[in-house]
């Protein structure tokens, strides 16, 4: 058994204690160091997160690289020790931006060297040459100090890459030596990289959306231009260019203002619209042969800040033409009704006088005039009502089984004396064994009245043939008419897609020039023509005929040859039973 | 009433209006001739030598403006005063007619006979008291 002296025991104990203390101290230091390292790591992570959040908050959906880099450089101090932080960025407009933030008062030469190194690096990175005169240079932060002769002792560059395109460089420089190790560079690189990735994604997304919007605006029939708050032209679509007669590709707002200068003050209107935050409308603007309605609408961003204005040019030439036709039609209608009415009133006044009663012949003549004029006015009113019903879609037909052959015979009979007066031979050509059709017989009679009275009006000493026959699906109209022994001047052969009942009136009259044919079914031109014509009638007969046939699900057409005659035909589809 | 009756030529395609105007003016003591379109109007202006012409604007064959041009181009008829018969809707044409030398116009709808007679007399007076021709 070992025996210790008390002194000896104390000595050993003391040594042991010291060893334990040393051990604890060492261990403590080790732990502390590791904790510090972890804390540092945490701080770095925190910083990364903070700066990325800050980037997100401050940049929003901006695609402005400079703004992003500004945010990063502004908060870098928390992470790194440096004398200057600088960036060199390739701008959208071909300019190059150099900005240097001084954290310590270095001299101008220091900045100059930073700039030179960055230009060289960016030229290598981007493969494009950068000329000094292209660079917009600015310095901020502490003022420079020419007495400080310290040169750059440590520095590093971080590239700014958006969508695989090098867009610029970030540079950190210091007068102290050996300041930047891999760790510092990695942090900044990571941050830059994450920001770049976010911007790249956003840019792709925006480009896609922009592409959709662009193709929509490009293909719009309305003219669209957009200007910013400084009156710069941002967008002009092809329709706007065409309407305004601008042919060059890089049009500016001045080209637009030039075209409009004598007609409207677009600039003032745009400013007014932005200022009052209201839609401004110019109802009618005439440029060459077109009439435009111009709408100016302010454009704001998500937080209600004005971005500019959109100007929309809507072509209203057709609407205006229709409006004018409608006005003309109304005044024509008033004329057509008013003239005979004035006459009737005057004649009736004359009839009131005593002495006219002694002139038997004149008395009779006046009465006749009143009768015939009031009858034709009534016809016109009836026709106008029919046209109004047709247009309002209130024209109704009542179908019942109709023997079309009988209908035609009755109509032809009623026109025989009128035809004889004009020395016109009136004939029928009705295919045998025609089935019974479901038609509105009264309305179909009205069609024959219209067609026959027209044919007689425009034929003297000739022949009028009223025909009715079936044209089977896929059959030839020309073959059919020929087989029935008819010649239709100006006929163009066709085959129907359904079985059709063909009703036609062919004359050997004056014929109709090709360019006049379409006007025959237009109420506006018809009423106008009738006022200028010696022939009696409202001119609306064909408009009504077309309406009646279309109400039956059919269609009308005209074949004509000037000097030879015309055929007015109706095609009525039927189902074979 | 003047010794010789004043002769008025009415050019109007609406038969009932032509008849009514003729009869009314006859009763007012005028000598009246009628024409039912522009072509006939131009012919009768030369053959009838009226003191005044009432001329409708909207007519078949030759309209009022065309007829007026031909009348003013013919030395025999160019000095005959012309009063245009018009509808409310023809104001554009009326100003054309006035610039072609028509003296006045009358809106057909709701015209009153007294108004028409006064207008005819005024126009004729204006013509007679007008500047004498040099020559």
The answer, yes or no, to whether residue A198 has pLDDT greater than 70, is yes
Q: Domains for chain A: give ranges and CATH numbers.
A: 62-207 (3.30.450), 220-315 (3.30.450.20), 323-388 (1.10.287), 400-573 (3.30.565.10)
Per 3-state DSSP, chain B is made up of helix, strand and coil in percentages (nearest 5) of 45, 20, 35
Instruction: Kindly determine whether residue B108 and residue A347, on different chains, have CB atoms separated by under 8 Å.
Output: no
Q: What are phi and psi of B5, to 5 degrees?
A: -65, 140
- Tens digit of each residue's pLDDT (9 = 90 or more) over A262-284: 888 888 888 888 888 889 898 88
Question: Distance, in angstroms, between B114 CA and closest chain A CA?
Answer: 13
**What average pLDDT does this structure show over A472-489?**
92
Give the mean pLDDT of chain A.
Answer: 86
- Selected residues 515-534 of chain A with any CB under 8 Å from a CB in chain B: 531-534
* Weakest-pLDDT range from A181-195, A292-306, A451-465, A521-535: A521-535
The answer, yes or no, to whether residue A527 has pLDDT greater than 70, is no
A439, burial (CB in 10 Å: exposed 0-12, middle 13-18, buried 19+)? buried
pTM confidence score: 0.54
Report the alpha-carbon distance of residue A190 to residue A550 in Å, rounded. 75
Q: How far is CA A172 from the centre of its chain?
A: 51
- Tens digit of each residue's pLDDT (9 = 90 or more) over A212-222: 888 888 888 99
Please, which residues have CB within 8 angstroms of residue A448's CB and are 6 or more apart in sequence?
A407, A408, A411, A466, A503, A505
- ipTM summary value: 0.78
Q: What percent of chain A has pLDDT over 70?
A: 95
Q: Does domain B7-128 match CATH 2.30.40.10?
A: no
| Residue carrying structure tokens 């220091």 | A110
Greatest CA span in chain B, whole angstroms?
Answer: 44
Name the β-bridge partners of A566.
A560
Q: What percent of chain A has pLDDT over 90?
A: 30
SS3 call for A171: strand
Which residues in B lie closer than 8 A to residue A334 (C-beta atoms)?
87-89
Question: Distance, in angstroms, between A346 CA and closest chain B CA?
Answer: 6
**How many beta carbons lie within 10 A of that of residue A569, not counting itself?**
23
Q: What are phi and psi of A154, to 5 degrees?
A: -145, 145
- Tens digit of each residue's pLDDT (9 = 90 or more) over A163-185: 788 889 999 999 998 888 887 78
| Residue carrying structure tokens 């440096």 | A82
Question: Distance, in angstroms, between B120 CA and closest chain A CA?
Answer: 18
- Tell me the helices (H) and strands (E) count for chain B, helix number first: 5, 5
Which helix (H) or strand (E) covers residue B93, if one does? helix B91-99
Note every long-range contact of A63-70, with CB atoms under 8 Å and residues 24 or more positions apart, other chains counting: A63/A199, A63/A202, A63/A203, A63/A206, A65/A89, A65/A160, A65/A162, A65/A167, A65/A168, A65/A199, A66/A91, A66/A97, A66/A99, A68/A195, A68/A199, A69/A160, A69/A168, A69/A170, A70/A99
In the structure, what pLDDT confidence band is assigned to residue A536 with cuts at 50, 70 and 90? Answer: low
Report the alpha-carbon distance of residue A553 to residue A21 in Å, rounded. 111
Report the alpha-carbon distance of residue A253 to residue A229 in Å, rounded. 12
State residue B133's pLDDT score. 39
Instruction: Kindly determine whether residue B87 and residue A335, on different chains, have CB atoms separated by under 8 Å.
Output: yes
Which residues in A lie closer than 8 A to residue B60 (C-beta atoms)?
532-534
The answer, yes or no, to whether residue A529 has pLDDT greater than 80, is no
**CA contacts within 13 A on the Cβ side of A545:** 28
- Selected residues 29-48 of chain B with any CB under 8 Å from a CB in chain A: 37
- Tens digit of each residue's pLDDT (9 = 90 or more) over B59-114: 888 888 999 999 999 999 999 999 998 876 667 788 888 888 888 888 887 778 88
| Residue carrying structure tokens 């026109």 | A415
The ranges assigned to domains in chain B are: 7-128
Which of B24, B59, B89 has its CB closest to that of A331? B89
Contact criterion met (CB below 8 Å) for A86 and A113 = no
Tokens of B37: 């379109």
Which helix (H) or strand (E) covers residue A89, if one does? strand A84-90
């Amino acid at each position: 058994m070992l025996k210790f002296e008390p002194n000896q025991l104390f000595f050993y104990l003391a040594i042991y204690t010291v060893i334990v203390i040393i051990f604890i101290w060492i261990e403590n230091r080790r732990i502390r160091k590791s904790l510090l390292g972890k804390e540092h790591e945490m701080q770095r992570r925190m910083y990364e997160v903070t700066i990325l959040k800050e980037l997100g908050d401050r940049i929003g959906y901006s695609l402005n690289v400079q703004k992003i880099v500004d945010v990063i450089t502004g908060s870098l101090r928390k992470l790194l020790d440096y004398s200057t932080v600088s960036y060199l960025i390739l701008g959208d407009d071909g300019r190059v931006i150099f900005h240097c933030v001084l954290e310590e008062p270095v001299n101008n030469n220091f900045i100059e060297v930073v700039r030179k190194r960055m230009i060289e690096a960016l030229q290598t990175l981007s493969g494009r040459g950068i000329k000094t005169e292209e660079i917009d240079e600015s310095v901020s932060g502490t003022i420079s100090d020419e007495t400080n002769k310290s040169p750059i002792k440590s520095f590093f560059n971080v590239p700014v890459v958006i969508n695989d395109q090098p867009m610029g460089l970030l540079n950190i420089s210091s007068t102290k030596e050996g300041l930047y190790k891999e760790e510092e560079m990695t942090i900044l690189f990571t941050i830059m990289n994450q920001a770049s990735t976010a911007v790249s994604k956003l840019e792709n997304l925006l480009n896609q959306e922009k592409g959709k919007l662009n193709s929509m605006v490009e293909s719009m029939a309305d003219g669209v231009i957009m200007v910013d708050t400084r009156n710069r032209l941002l967008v002009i679509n092809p329709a706007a260019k065409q309407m305004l007669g601008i042919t060059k590709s890089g049009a500016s707002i001045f080209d637009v203002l030039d075209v409009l200068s004598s007609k409207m003050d677009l600039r003032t209107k745009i400013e007014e619209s932005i200022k009052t935050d209201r839609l401004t409308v110019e109802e009618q603007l005439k440029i060459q042969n077109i009439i435009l309605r111009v709408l100016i609408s302010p454009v704001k961003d998500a937080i209600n800040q004005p971005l500019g204005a959109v100007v929309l040019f809507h072509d209203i030439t057709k609407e205006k033409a229709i409006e004018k036709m409608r006005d003309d039609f109304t005044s024509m209608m008033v004329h057509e009704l008013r003239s005979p009415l004035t006459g009737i009133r005057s004649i009736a006044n004359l009839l009131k006088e005593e002495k006219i009663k002694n002139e038997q012949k004149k008395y009779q003549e006046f009465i006749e005039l009143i009768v015939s004029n009031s009858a034709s006015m009534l016809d016109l009113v009836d026709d106008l009502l029919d046209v109004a019903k047709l247009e309002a879609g209130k024209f109704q037909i009542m179908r019942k089984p109709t023997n079309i052959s009988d209908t035609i015979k009755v109509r032809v009979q009623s026109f025989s004396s009128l035809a004889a007066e004009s020395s016109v031979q009136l004939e029928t050509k009705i295919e045998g064994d025609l089935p019974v059709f479901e038609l509105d017989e009264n309305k179909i009679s009205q069609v024959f009245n219209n067609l026959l009275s027209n044919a007689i009006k425009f034929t003297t000493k000739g022949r009028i043939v009223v025909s009715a026959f079936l044209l089977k699906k896929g059959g030839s109209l020309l073959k059919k008419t020929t087989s029935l022994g008819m010649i239709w001047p100006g006929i163009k052969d066709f085959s129907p897609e359904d079985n059709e009942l063909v009703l036609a009136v062919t004359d050997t009259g004056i014929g109709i020039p090709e360019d006049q044919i379409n006007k025959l079914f237009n109420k506006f031109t018809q009423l106008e023509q009738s006022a200028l014509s010696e022939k009696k009638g409202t001119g609306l007969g064909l408009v009504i005929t077309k309406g009646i046939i279309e109400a039956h699900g059919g269609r009308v057409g005209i074949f004509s040859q000037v000097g030879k005659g015309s055929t007015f035909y109706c095609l009525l589809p039927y189902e074979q039973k | 009433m003047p010794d010789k009756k004043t002769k008025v030529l009415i050019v109007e395609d609406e038969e009932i209006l032509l008849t009514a105007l003729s009869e009314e003016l006859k009763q007012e003591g005028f000598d009246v001739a009628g024409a039912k379109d522009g072509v006939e109007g131009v012919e009768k202006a030369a053959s009838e030598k009226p003191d005044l012409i009432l001329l409708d604007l909207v007519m078949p064959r030759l309209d009022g403006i065309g007829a007026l041009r031909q009348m003013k181009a013919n030395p025999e008829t160019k000095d005959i005063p012309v009063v245009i018969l018009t509808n409310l809707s023809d104001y554009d044409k009326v100003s054309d007619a006035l610039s072609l030398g028509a003296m006045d116009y009358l809106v057909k709808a709701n015209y009153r006979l007294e108004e028409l007679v006064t207008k005819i007399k005024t126009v004729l007076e204006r013509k007679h008291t007008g500047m004498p021709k040099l020559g």
